[in-house]
Amino acid sequence: MKVFRLVSMLALILAVGVATTSCKKVKDADVQAAAQMALAANPDLADVSVAVLDQVATLSGTVKDDASKAYAETTVAAVENVKSVVNNIEVVPPAPDFTAIDAALNSGLADALKDHATVKAEVKDGVVTLIGEIRKRDLQKLMEKVNALNPQQVVNNITVK
């Protein structure tokens, strides 16, 4: 009876061992392809890439906000056979659009410079650069007018006479 139990137990262990080793092994390349397809469905994740090693997905790249970063992680985590996700995505907000600000500054500068014909101004990305010549007594008044327009910065390259 003890021999029968021993043989039965060995047979059971052998059967379990064969069953676990004969299971279909999932390829990392297949998991990676599925994760990439899931990310490709969202245009906000165009700059995100995924690498899979031992069924652990590692995300890298850039997105515009934290919500996109979290969405990429949950999307990949939901892919079949992904055990875990390492999220190395960097959040890089888009550059601000200064078009409206520059237009408002240019409009205000036209009025501020009307009494100073020898001074010119250039506006780029909210920064006002002043060039030309001005009398010392007029400089403070001009700078007050320009600063009242609330630019990001004023670069004063004016020559004072």
Q: Which residue type occupies 159?
A: T
Catalogue all structural domains in the chain, each as residue range(s) with its CATH number.
25-91 (3.30.1340.30), 99-160 (3.30.1340.30)
- 83-123 pLDDT per residue, tens: 999 999 999 998 889 999 999 999 999 999 999 999 999 99
Instruction: Determine the pLDDT at residue 87.
Output: 97
The pLDDT of residue 124 is above 70: yes
